[in-house]
Structure 1
């Protein structure tokens, strides 16, 4: 799944990004309320982790803008994070449209459980209106179960390989540069001296394409990689 973390404490945001990506999610980060509001309203996420106390625009302001946006953004599940364990704050957040509330400090396992819960509820409440399954030709990816199959055969992917596949599938038909992939999947600035992206793509291709005659993952020399169905 694709997550947005809106958090101005860098150590905490780094911690959340590391944990979420290790569990197969693609994560974007906003360090303040202004950027968080822009990404939440104009992006498309499966869940938003939103701090209350933010510079620029506070979490309540971001939440209000998100709930006033059009679909599918307005229905995005939101987990609010705060260091203030005040009943009024929790009530306000829930009344303004937050799906759940978590007080700092917290264990990552609890945060992950709450994220999974709100995304499941959202999927159930919308009766499939918000896609939890991505498909391309005979490839099917279940975002909730974090399971990928091709021609009904299960693909044994690592967390990073799954995150890479989801990124490519969400942007099917678009050529993604190595820089974009490194930033989205590893949350790192691309270093031309490393071949981490090439290795990951090669391993994914071994599982995704090599056992099948019909290829979906293509290399565009000098530009990057694209996932698309080019026919037989």
Structure 2
């Protein structure tokens, strides 16, 4: 399968919310095979947290969750992003339940049991119709594993948790995320982040890299790496996060 064209700075991000781990797993596989990036969540509260962190382009949302009702999650997602495409999953085929979901802002409904091909096709249709709006918004978002940087609002999240950075720390991280896995020398970083070369610039880069590591990698698998004698690189962790 091929992904939706027109999205820049990373793959299309799809939030998948369901309290059945087996179903979440197969949906995630189907989404990844479609060329998109899956962000699973098992309940309403974690779904809202993940959504704030990854800025999804579309959501697959179960109507019945163990904490918040699916419609509550839908309304909250809609309040933060009125144009976010949402595909509801439901084990209930009653007309009133479908109408409730559509009234709350769902764009489409799939009733369990369903085929994965149907889910992907419906998602592709929703993404296609929403493509014009998302293409513009996505140009300011950089995603690497579970690390998300939004240029427009100058916000950074890792695994849904906000990270407070200074202006220069943000600029440094933005530069590194614009060149994932690429080794950047101290001179390159100095030229781009401080727009000049000066004595002591190498030490300044070391200080800021150290500060970024404390904020980005503390208590997590490291993403910022030193390549001895060459410079620094940012890479997703081995599990993709």
TM norm. shorter chain > 0.5: yes
Distance 1:127 1:66 in 2: 15
The alignment yields a C-alpha RMSD, in angstroms, of 3.2
Kept in 1: contact 2:45–2:68 (CA 8 A): yes
What displacement does 1:80 show? 0.4
Distance 2:82 2:96 in 1: 23
What displacement does 1:226 show? 5.1
Distance 2:50 2:82 in 1: 13
Which of 26, 44, 47 is the equivalent residue of 1:33? Answer: 44
Distance 2:149 2:75 in 1: 31
Distance 1:119 1:127, change over 3 A: closer
Which of 130, 137, 161 is the equivalent residue of 1:122? Answer: 130
Which of 56, 69, 77 is the equivalent residue of 1:45? Answer: 56
Q: Match of 2:65, SS?
A: coil
The aligned counterpart of 2:182 is 218
Kept in 2: contact 1:41–1:66 (CA 8 A): no
Kept in 1: contact 2:57–2:134 (CA 8 A): no
Q: Which runs of 5+ in 2 are unaligned?
A: 1-11, 151-158, 160-178, 184-224, 237-241
Kept in 2: contact 1:172–1:226 (CA 8 A): no
Matches within 5 A, 1:165-184: 167=144, 171=148
Q: Match of 2:182, SS?
A: strand
Distance 1:39 1:20, change over 3 A: same
Distance 1:33 1:171, change over 3 A: closer
Matches within 5 A, 1:108-187: 108-124=116-132, 126=133, 129-131=136-138, 167=144, 171=148
How many residues are matched?
152
TM-score normalised over the length of structure 2: 0.55
Kept in 1: contact 2:17–2:62 (CA 8 A): yes
The aligned counterpart of 1:74 is 82
Q: Match of 2:16, SS?
A: strand
Distance 1:110 1:134 in 2: 31
- Deviation digits for residues 2-31 of structure 1 (CA, Å, limit 9, x no counterpart): 110010001100001111112221111110
What displacement does 1:41 show? 4.6
Distance 1:32 1:216 in 2: 31
Distance 1:172 1:226 in 2: 14
The aligned counterpart of 2:29 is 18
Structure 1 stretches of 4+ with a deviation exceeding 6 A read: 133-136
Q: Match of 2:27, SS?
A: helix
TM-score normalised over the length of structure 1: 0.57
